Amino acid sequence: MYNRAEVVDKNFLRHVREGHLPPPRTHLRASDIDLNHQELIDLFESQAISRHLDLKARLLKQENKCFYTIGSSGHEGNAVFGKVFRYTDMAFLHYRSGALMIQRSKQLPGTTPIYDMMLSFTASIEDPVAGGRHKVLGSKELYVPPQTSTIASHLPKAVGMALSIGRCRDIGVPSVVPPDSLVICNFGDASANHATAQCAFNTASWAAYQNINMPIVFICEDNRIGISVPTAEKWIERSFSHRPEMQYIKCDGLSLLDTYKKAKEAEIYARRRKKPVFLHMETVRLLGHAGSDVESTYHPIHKIEADEFDDPLLHSARILIENKILSSEDVVNIYENVRQRVEYVANVASDRPKLDDPEVVKTTITACQDCKPSPPMSDEEKRKNIFGRDYKNLDQPQHMAKLINWGLTDILLQYPNTLIFGEDVATKGGVYNVTDGLMKKFSPKRVFNSPLDETSIIGAALGMAHNGLLPIPEIQFLAYVHNAEDQLRGEASTLAFFSQGQYTNPLVLRIAGLAYQKGFGGHFHNDNSLAVFRDLPGVIIAVPSNGVDAVQMMRTCVKEAYEKGRVIVFIEPIALYMTKDLHQEGDKEWTGIYPESSSRIELGEFGTYGDGNDLLIISYGNGYYYSRKAAKTLEEEYKVKSTLIDLRWIAPLNEERFNEVVKLFKKVLIVDECRKTGSFSEQLCTSIIENNEQPPKIKILAADDCFIPLGVAAAAGLPNEKKIIQAAKQLLGDKL
């Protein structure tokens, strides 16, 4: 029979009434655990609710009223986790966690999980979590950040959240969750193989090995298959039963009794010892991967029927009947009463207004329901003590690296919940000494090293932000981000969108990047592309060209993150870190004096230099530096007077003000140090053409569509002073 949902439904009723129930795989009795009869009945009810939600979703899909059919059938044993763990233990949930969510809701009177989940299934604008933007399991009041169709991407931030609980206590800032909380995070056996998952397991063990508190319970819900690909026999057990500093516990996910016993063991271990637990729950998957998945195309019918007879609801029915808690008819009555409840609620929810207005869809991209003002700046005496010998040099010109270091010092002083971490940032002070001395000034609890794992660096930052911290992690080189970009795309940038601003990921991600390093490192240390960030809705991208701007922009970024929960990528041009001179050796024109502590550059505010009207040169970062050099030569040798724009912000672009300046010029040269294909110059050129009735003549000078080689050829394909001058001459033509 094709409709396995109907088969499973009918089989449950028939088997219970006939007493034809699956044999136990573990021999526990209800009296062996500390659950009373009513609690067992309550767990079964949550399982039944979850099942009927799945069944109803399939029916509504046929009526084009439901848009998501990846259900929880077979995984209903996870209802136990909704009871064992406190609702204040933050939960990062897999999409098959319907029963868990329903049972967890019962800890907080007044919640309406059936209605809320049906609103989500049917993409109603009244869905209290995502507002119809996706079917998610989430709740602010139940401490469940919303997850979409996660394939392990939520594990690294669960680790960060677990780390943050002790860290909040250590640095004396408030924690969102109680100080004795732990974190739970569930996922499937197939997802356990994902590189992102392995990063999380490794980081949790790595931290625990060094006696860093890591109270987390990883729950692997092992149904032995990932869509159609089987998991090798005993693979999960062999892979995870001997991980260092990670307690392995195995349970029969088809038995409420065994699952409860082992879950309590895991909960006590993680909460008391503050170490990670891997709870391996063996179960089955029913109804295929999703409504569109025809399981019979890759499984023989006898295999499908065997799994269906191992239905966790049938096992629960057996437990209730064998222990003389309920009769078979009582079990059927509960199951059918739940059907009626779900049917009624689903019919109401499915008729609620749908999300269909694109303007409304976009409103939550940068939403924040918990906006708050920044703390006051530190008094001068504190600054004097922290800056130490540097205090008397604050009015002396410095290069970018030093100015950023001082800027971070003031930020750590003003914002007590900020943390700086990454590879080599602590004792060494970073590869380029930008964080030099910060650990000594603010302690290893606020400035610390991470493992060499960009996924864990960004993921941990996201989790820490869930607990009220403001992370400022560092990625050592721009090219390294690609190992971890899904933590930005799939997690950080989507959280406000899918929670309507109930959850945000305040984050300032510092990245040493771009090219022009005089042949050092080749393509893996010189990545001249920002395209990976530019298509992430709502993400702020900052690229300062000099130290004074960098400090003022960093202050704005931290303010935006702290007050509005924004996600920021802050690109620091490596080649300009130590640059002091502009036109000739010793002129120190690229140094600057540390700006007053209240001075900031607002989002989208670009800088201008010069007042010439022959040519407008638009650039940023290293490109602006070389444009300044070229502009001087153009004026002295060719009498060309230029105006230069230093964009500073790649996103957002203040298009209105930008085009007000562009309208004053007939010739525009865009200098972009990134590879031409996918570079910012494409957007700038489009903006100019679309917003000007008589657009100027435009020329783009961008980097070649090529990777950066090693050695003397490293800058061969990049814009430089000579190429800018040549491009300007071509653009100006007979003007010269």
Distance from C-alpha of 455 to C-alpha of 441, rounded to nearest angstrom: 27
The residue behind tokens 């990049």 is 718
Of residues 263, 239, 304, the one with CA closest to residue 73: 304
472 forms beta bridges with: 420
How far is CA 288 from its chain centroid? 29
Of residues 400, 521, 139, 532, the one with CA closest to residue 509: 532
Strands 649-651 and 540-542: antiparallel
Of residues 585, 570, 363, 373, the one with CA closest to residue 478: 570
Q: Is pLDDT of 1 > 60?
A: no
Mind listing the pLDDT tens digit for each residue in 271-290? 999 999 999 999 999 998 98
> In the numeric block, which tokens belong to residue 636?
């002295």
Distance from C-alpha of 715 to C-alpha of 110, rounded to nearest angstrom: 64
pLDDT at residue 622, as a whole number: 97
Backbone φ, ψ for residue 294 (5° rounding) = -95, 100
Q: What is the DSSP string of 187-215?
A: EETTGGGSHHHHHHHHHHHHHHHTT----
* Helix, strand or coil, per DSSP, at residue 88: coil
> In the numeric block, which tokens belong to residue 421?
């971490």
Average pLDDT on 515-534 reads 89
SS (H, E, C) 230-244: ECCCCHHHHHHCCCC
Task: List the single range of 167-176, 501-510, 703-712 with lowest mean pLDDT.
Answer: 703-712
* Helix, strand or coil, per DSSP, at residue 604: coil
User: In one letter, which amino acid is 723?
Assistant: K
380-576 and 607-735 share one fold? yes
Distance from C-alpha of 66 to C-alpha of 725, rounded to nearest angstrom: 60
Mind listing the pLDDT tens digit for each residue in 659-671? 999 999 999 999 9
Rg (CA), the chain: 29
> In the numeric block, which tokens belong to residue 293?
């998945």
The residue behind tokens 């689903």 is 346
Is the CATH number 3.40.50.970 carried by domain 4-357?
A: yes
pLDDT at residue 66, as a whole number: 86
CATH architecture of 380-576: 3-Layer(aba) Sandwich (3.40)
Average pLDDT on 576-595 reads 97
Q: Is pLDDT of 735 > 70?
A: no
Query: How many CB atoms lie under 10 A from the CB of residue 362?
Result: 12
**How wide is the angle at C-alpha 265 spanned by C-alphas 35 and 107, nearest 5°?**
50
pLDDT at residue 480, as a whole number: 94
End-to-end CA distance of the chain: 82
> In the numeric block, which tokens belong to residue 96?
């098959």
pLDDT confidence of 147, banded at 50, 70, 90?
confident
* Helix, strand or coil, per DSSP, at residue 650: strand
Q: Is pLDDT of 148 > 80?
A: no
Greatest extent of the chain over all pairs of C-alpha atoms, in Å: 99
* Helix, strand or coil, per DSSP, at residue 138: strand
For residue 297, count CB atoms less than 10 angstroms from its CB and return exposed for 0-12, middle for 13-18, buried for 19 or more: exposed
The answer to whether the bond into 544 is cis (omega within 30° of 0) is no
How far is CA 558 from its chain centroid? 18
675 forms beta bridges with: 703
Distance from C-alpha of 517 to C-alpha of 100, rounded to nearest angstrom: 52
Q: Is pLDDT of 519 > 80?
A: no
pLDDT at residue 77, as a whole number: 98
* Helix, strand or coil, per DSSP, at residue 271: helix
Average pLDDT on 698-708 reads 95
SS (H, E, C) 716-736: CCCCCHHHHHHHHHHHHHHHC
Distance from C-alpha of 546 to C-alpha of 148, rounded to nearest angstrom: 40
Task: List the single range of 25-29, 174-178, 432-436, 630-634 with lowest mean pLDDT.
Answer: 25-29
Q: 416-428 burial, b if ≥16 CB within 10 A, otherwise e?
A: bbbbbbbbbbbee
**How wide is the angle at C-alpha 577 spanned by C-alphas 432 and 594, nearest 5°?**
110
Question: What is the pTM (predicted TM-score) of this model?
Answer: 0.96
The residue behind tokens 């991470």 is 450
Q: What is the DSSP string of 349-390?
A: HTTSPB---HHHHHTTTT--SS--PPPPPPPHHHHHHHHGGG
pLDDT averaged over every residue in the chain:
95
Distance from C-alpha of 441 to C-alpha of 583, rounded to nearest angstrom: 36
Distance from C-alpha of 193 to C-alpha of 198, rounded to nearest angstrom: 7
Task: List the single range of 67-71, 494-498, 584-588 with lowest mean pLDDT.
Answer: 67-71
Q: What is each CA distance from 457 to 219, 462, 469, 530, 564, in whole angstroms?
A: 22, 9, 14, 19, 22
Distance from C-alpha of 25 to C-alpha of 19, rounded to nearest angstrom: 17
> In the numeric block, which tokens belong to residue 363?
């409103």
Of residues 209, 215, 307, the one with CA closest to residue 253: 307
Are 431 and 523 a contacting pair, CB within 8 Å?
no
Mind listing the pLDDT tens digit for each residue in 289-324? 988 888 889 899 999 999 999 999 999 999 999 999
Is the CATH number 3.40.50.920 carried by domain 607-735?
A: yes
Q: Where are the domains of the chain?
A: 4-357, 380-576, 607-735
pLDDT at residue 734, as a whole number: 64
pLDDT at residue 736, as a whole number: 65
Q: What is each CA distance from 431 to 426, 434, 511, 560, in whole angstroms?
A: 10, 8, 12, 27
Rounded percentage of the chain residues whose pLDDT exceeds 70: 99
Q: Cα dihedral sign for 158, 159, 161, 165?
A: positive
Distance from C-alpha of 570 to C-alpha of 567, rounded to nearest angstrom: 10
Are 90 and 138 a contacting pair, CB within 8 Å?
no
Mind listing the pLDDT tens digit for each residue in 330-355? 999 999 999 999 999 999 999 999 99
Which helix (H) or strand (E) segment is 396 a member of? none
Average pLDDT on 395-418 reads 98
Average pLDDT on 611-631 reads 97
Q: Is pLDDT of 113 > 60?
A: yes
> In the numeric block, which tokens belong to residue 427?
């004792």
For residue 379, count CB atoms less than 10 angstroms from its CB and return exposed for 0-12, middle for 13-18, buried for 19 or more: exposed
Q: Is pLDDT of 95 > 80?
A: yes
pLDDT at residue 10, as a whole number: 97
User: In one letter, which amino acid is 509?
Assistant: L
